[in-house]
A and B are shown apart, each in its own frame.
Chain A
Amino acid sequence: MLKRTCLFSTHHKLGGKLIEFGGWEMPVQYTSITDEHLAVRNAAGIFDISHMGEVTVSGAAAADFLNYVFTNDIRKLSAGLGQYTLMCNERGGAIDDLYAYCLSKDVYFLVVNASRVQADVAWLHQQLAEFPRREEIFMTDASHNYSAVAVQGPCVKDFIDACISSASNCAMRVPKVTDLKKNEIGGFLFHGHDVMVSRTGYTGEDGFEIVGNEECIAGVWDTVLEKGKPFGIKPCGLGARDTLRTEVCYPLYGHELDENTTPIEAGLGFFVALDKGDFVGRSVLAGQKANGVSKKCIAFKMTDKCAPPRPHYPIWVNGARVGEVVSGTQSPSLNVGIGMGYVPPEFAKPGTEIEIEIRGNRPKAVVVKKPIYKKS
């Protein structure tokens, strides 16, 4: 039995093609992945992200606990700030990547991947059960309480204030939504309902993510589509979400990250604060930072005209099979095959010529710096 978000009937009405993702029935596209992708790059797009999970962690020892289970330094967050971070097991393998927000002193809000909600909550409970100051920590899986949408694109700032037209009343205090800076989060009112708005996203464009309960998110969706119409907003599905994030080399759990892959191998060392004190997986990650890794995440672009690269296609260098693609697609913005994959570190330098095995052929590609797509 697949789960449905509060926007299910909306997706149906808009002609969304529904597929299974993380146990949910979600739209992969409405019109075409290319059109939706380009709408986000050039104007605006709205995504249903209600399938994602939300966890609240509060109490006097909340920050200490979260700093013990996450790789990034949560002490950097004062009220109204969020950060990208990862949660690792004892081998340094990623259990999930997520966003952690500080809403107020001792109150934290986590947004996690839909496919990992159960695993994350189980892990957090397991860690909490052994944490010395657990009496001072209160944790709730609030995923079933929340729906959410992401509004992304260069034109969003031109109409989002007309959608949520109040000043914020908690977390980051700003007179209007567009006064939020990147990674900031504030509580606003939408027709009397509390919503949290963060200036975050998964597309490489400016944008906002809006979290609220079921009753109001459908209204938020309709209002955003209405106010964004003159700017060319389109409803966008998971297909465009994937091509957008692949172009800017954002990891997708299950592809660039899994329980046998560390943040260091994935190229996310920037979000691993080795100096903050002990945390789960620290010794392995410190060892990798000092001594190197055995596999490294690369970004690549096809140089031969060929079929698009896809996950699991083998990567060849100098006549030997050395690695595997983890994400791949035809880039709608660049009109070329692009992707990310894992290879031994000696083949990870930008400029390295590689081959991708596609149905018995081995068209050429080149390792490039991340992000593959950059706004000019």
Chain B
Amino acid sequence: MYFVVAGAGEVGFHLSQALLEAGHEVTVIEADRRRANFVQEKLGSIVMNAPADEGRAQMEAGCSRADALIAVTGDDAKNLVICQLAKIRCRTPRVIARVNNPKNEIVFKTLGIDETISSTRVLMNVIEQELPSGGFMPLMSLAGSANELIEAEIAIGTPPAGKTVSSLRLPSGAMVGGIIRKGKLMHADDETKLEIGDRIMVFSPTASESEVRKALFG
């Protein structure tokens, strides 16, 4: 596959290297000449020294034949515009934006950039999975919509313990997809009673995440 990586900072550099090692074709666009030279020395002549947020640079980098563009600069507004320009002007079929401020994930989705990666959120998920209580984990965002899948553990003293699914005060648009009880996946309907230790799977609009948290933990 052919990838265009916009921004050759730490993330862009290592991402390009990993993509090359996996056998893909890569062009990385970097505006800073010294950084571009440095990356060229390490990775070979796959670097273009140009501003990735300008249409001409994207054309030259071959965004119109690329399978995907990944914008990984440290500036959220720049990543948004890079992705939008590639999508509109070059019709790049897949654009992925790095989001530095996790609050911007929902903003990007509203503005038409569905695929975002927030390093803050990834780290938080890893940390939360390591915590003994299990707690509340947004597992993944669902491609093509502003929804996500959340996993949460029903703990002692929380509002849902011993209650039915229908009594959960979930925000509108959110639904329970299933329950993992003692390692087994179970179907959940309105009458299913939640037990302590159950792990509940909730599909929810990303914007309502905090309301889901409130419904499950009070």
Q: Is chain B a partner of chain A in the same complex?
A: no
Tell me the A residues contacting B by CB distance below 8 Å: none
Tell me the B residues contacting A by CB distance below 8 Å: none
